[in-house]
């Protein structure tokens, strides 16, 4: 073993040793973890439902749910898909923004805005169980 | 000739008189008028959901829908005998909304009969609406047909008279179509008794046409495509040979036949609603007979909205759906099959991809 190798090995041992108390195996999680993750997800779904029915998301009091009760007719399973009106393949979030700007007469959200993610979580949750069909019209 | 050219010839979505005349030869029209005394027309406009923003501002999109229907109905030739407005004139039942809607309806050049919708009712229980339009339910006779207007959007007293923080809280709970805190629609015992008495003096061969806001059927409870005492109301109507129920609320094309009763829905002028079959978790009982309207194209503001021109022919209705961004559709009672059918699309081979709702 060269001097250099010895040094690396020592450093590795030191690192593992100091992190030993925090050691978690990647594939081991508990029922408690599952419950917590599900709760986290459902709290975002709930937030999404609130936004979906909120007259405040746009500027004129019109809410998403007015035309899309239970987020029906949004077809989350079909995105991304070609939108002939945009002339390209678009995502569901872009379609949400289209509705935000037009019937709701509001401003578009950043695609990673927590409100956008919440609305996607809600619409997708309402669509649970439906097989993926990207590109479908 | 199976086509009913009075609707085709007269409808105004056309390039001009010359085109219409060449497209529909006069011989056809003469045949259709073989018995003119048995025939008249009326227009049906519904669900305009006039929505107040603030001050003198209203949601432009919904305003445009009603303005267009009124303007087009005024251009009909020959003139319809009357107009029915099928309910949900307002979005939250306020004086501002009802006044604004009434002002737009007042431009109709014809006698107008109004039906109450839940959006007109649950703020003040129809008080202001009544001042503008009259009683909540009533009947009238016209050219041998008995017309009944029902208030089918009542619900239980417990729900209506709950300790609501304000009447607007009650209105908002009922206004959310998919809101689980709403309550099922019903005609109610008092009104059913009125209907029973009203129909007592009507001969069983007299055609009866009922206008309601909710479907007087149980289609899908989750969105109140539903009338809780539908069976009891239907039982009062079944003894008549020719009965048609025309209803709003669903913002989409639906039609059905239950015994002697033909059911036909009307479009909204404001916005379309999805079919219950497109909500993956809906336990619905949508009529198999219905060929759905086209799926709405969100890039066209008025797509999947419209109004109706109704041809009353020998006591049956021929409904022409005047669709702003799609080809019009005609649904008529077919005496051979004893059910309402779409003139073009009833044949499965004729259906088009946008009619697939999922
Ligand atoms: Fe409505
Ligand atoms: Fe309604």
**How many distinct structural domains can be found in chain B?**
1
The answer to whether position B254 is within a domain reads yes
We report the CATH number of the domain holding residue B126 as 3.60.21.10
Write down the pTM of the prediction: 0.89
Asked whether the predicted pLDDT for residue B114 surpasses 70, the reply is yes
Calculate how far, in angstroms, residue B119's C-alpha sits from the geometric centre of ligand 1.
Answer: 7
Calculate how far, in angstroms, residue B77's C-alpha sits from the geometric centre of ligand 2.
Answer: 30
Question: Tell me: the pLDDT tens digits for A42-59?
Answer: 999 999 999 999 999 999
Question: Tell me: the pLDDT tens digits for B187-239?
Answer: 999 999 999 999 999 999 999 999 999 999 999 999 999 999 999 999 999 99
Calculate how far, in angstroms, residue B49's C-alpha sits from the geometric centre of ligand 1.
Answer: 6
Give dist(CA B80, CA B320) in Å, integer. 13
Residue B22: pLDDT band by 50, 70, 90 thresholds? very low
Stronger pLDDT, A85 or B88, i.e. the higher one: B88
Q: Stretch B236-261: mean pLDDT, rounded?
A: 98
Instruction: Mark residue B249 as left, alpha or beta (left: phi above 0; alpha: psi -120 to 50; beta: remaining).
Output: left
DSSP readout, A8-73?
HHHHHHHHHHHHGGG---TT---HHHHHHHHHHHHHHHHHHHHHHT-TTSSSSS--HHHHSGGGTT
Question: Tell me: the pLDDT tens digits for B164-177?
Answer: 999 999 999 999 99
Give dist(CA B165, CA B193) in Å, integer. 33
Interface mutation vs chain B, best among A69, A86, A97, A132, most B CBs within 10 Å: A69
Q: What is the pLDDT of residue B57?
A: 98
Nearest Cα of chain A lies from the Cα of B44 at a distance, in angstroms, of 22
Which pair of structure tokens corresponds to residue A62? 């019109």
Give the ipTM: 0.89
B358 vs A: CB within 8 A: yes
Q: What is the pLDDT of residue B4?
A: 43
The answer to whether position B355 is within a domain reads no
| Maximum distance among all Cα pairs of chain B, rounded to whole angstroms | 64
Which of B53, B57, B298 has its CB closest to that of A99?
Answer: B298
Nearest Cα of chain B lies from the Cα of A72 at a distance, in angstroms, of 5
Q: What is the pLDDT of residue B352?
A: 97
The answer to whether position B11 is within a domain reads yes
Question: Tell me: the pLDDT tens digits for B332-349?
Answer: 999 999 999 999 999 999
With b meaning 16 or more CB within 10 Å and e meaning fewer, what string describes B331-341? bbbbeeeebbb
The answer to whether position B331 is within a domain reads yes
The angle that helices B95-105 and B60-74 make with each other, rounded to 10 degrees, is 30
Q: Which residues have C-beta under 5 Å from ligand 1, the single-atom ion?
A: B 47, 88
Contact B51 A60 (CB under 8 A): yes
Residue A9: pLDDT band by 50, 70, 90 thresholds? low
Give dist(CA A76, CA A93) in Å, integer. 9
Calculate how far, in angstroms, residue B47's C-alpha sits from the geometric centre of ligand 1.
Answer: 4
B83 is in which domain, residue-wise? 7-350
Calculate how far, in angstroms, residue B215's C-alpha sits from the geometric centre of ligand 2.
Answer: 10
Q: What is the pLDDT of residue B2?
A: 40
Query: Over pLDDT 70: what percentage of chain A?
Result: 82
Q: Look over chain B and give the mean of its residue pLDDT values, rounded to a whole number.
A: 91
Task: Kindly report the backbone phi and psi dihedral angles of residue B185, in degrees, each rounded to the nearest multiple of 5, phi listed first.
Answer: -70, 150
Contact A126 B281 (CB under 8 A): yes
Closest to B115 in 3D by CA, of B97, B99, B133: B133
Q: What residue spans define the domains of chain A?
A: 33-137
The answer to whether position B357 is within a domain reads no
What residues of B are in contact with residue A67 (Cβ under 8 Å)? Answer: 271-273
Task: Could you please state the CATH topology (level 3) that the domain comprising A33-137 is classified under.
Answer: Cytochrome Bc1 Complex; Chain D, domain 2 (1.10.760)
Which of A69, A127, A137 has its CB closest to that of B280?
Answer: A127
Nearest Cα of chain A lies from the Cα of B222 at a distance, in angstroms, of 10
Pairing of strands B329-334, B339-342: antiparallel
The answer to whether B246 and B210 are in contact (CB under 8 A) is: yes
The answer to whether position B222 is within a domain reads yes
């Amino acid at each position: 073993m060269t001097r250099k190798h010895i040094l690396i090995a020592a450093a590795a041992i030191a690192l593992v040793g100091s992190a030993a108390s925090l050691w978690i195996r990647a594939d081991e999680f508990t029922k408690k973890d599952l419950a917590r993750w599900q709760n986290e997800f459902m709290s975002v779904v709930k937030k999404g439902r609130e936004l979906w029915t909120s007259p405040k998301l746009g500027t004129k009091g019109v809410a998403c749910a007015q035309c899309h009760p239970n987020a029906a007719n949004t077809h989350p399973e079909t995105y991304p898909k070609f939108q002939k009106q945009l002339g390209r393949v678009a995502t569901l979030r872009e379609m949400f923004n289209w509705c935000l700007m037009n019937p709701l007469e509001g401003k578009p959200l950043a695609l990673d805005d927590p409100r956008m993610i919440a609305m996607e979580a809600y619409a997708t949750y309402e669509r649970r169980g439906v097989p993926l069909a990207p590109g479908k019209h | 000739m199976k086509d009913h050219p009075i609707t085709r010839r007269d409808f105004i979505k056309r390039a001009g008189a010359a085109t219409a005349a060449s497209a529909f030869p006069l011989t056809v029209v003469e045949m259709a008028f073989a018995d003119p005394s048995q025939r008249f027309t009326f227009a049906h406009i519904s669900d305009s959901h006039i929505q107040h923003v603030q001050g003198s501002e209203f949601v432009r999109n919904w305003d445009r829908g009603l303005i267009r229907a009124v303007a087009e109905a005024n251009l009909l030739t020959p003139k319809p005998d009357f107009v029915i407005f099928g309910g949900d004139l307002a979005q939250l039942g306020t004086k501002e909304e009802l006044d604004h809607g009434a002002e737009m309806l007042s431009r109709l050049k014809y006698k107008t009969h109004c039906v109450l919708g839940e959006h007109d009712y649950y703020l003040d229980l129809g008080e202001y609406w009544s001042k503008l339009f009259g009683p909540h339910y009533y009947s009238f006779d016209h050219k041998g047909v008995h017309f009944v207007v029902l208030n089918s959007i009542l619900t239980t007293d417990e729900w209506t008279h709950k300790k609501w923080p304000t009447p607007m809280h009650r209105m908002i709970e009922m206004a959310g179509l998919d809101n689980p805190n709403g309550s099922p629609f019903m005609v109610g015992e008092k009104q059913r008794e009125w209907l029973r008495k009203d129909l007592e003096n009507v001969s069983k061969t007299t055609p009866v046409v009922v206008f309601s806001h909710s479907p007087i059927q149980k289609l899908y409870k989750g969105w109140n495509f539903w009338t809780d005492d539908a069976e009891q109301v239907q039982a009062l109507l079944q003894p008549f040979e020719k009965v048609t129920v025309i209803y709003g609320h669903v913002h989409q094309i639906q039609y059905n036949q239950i015994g002697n009763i033909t059911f036909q829905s009307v479009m909204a002028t404001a916005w379309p609603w999805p079919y219950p079959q497109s909500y993956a978790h809906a336990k619905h009982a949508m009529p198999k007979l219905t060929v759905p309207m086209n799926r709405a194209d969100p890039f066209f503001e008025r797509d999947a909205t419209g109004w109706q021109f109704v041809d009353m022919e020998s006591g049956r209705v021929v409904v022409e759906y005047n669709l702003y961004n799609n080809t019009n559709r005609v649904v008529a009672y077919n005496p051979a099959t004893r059910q309402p059918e779409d003139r073009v699309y009833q044949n499965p081979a004729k259906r088009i991809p946008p009619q697939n709702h999922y």
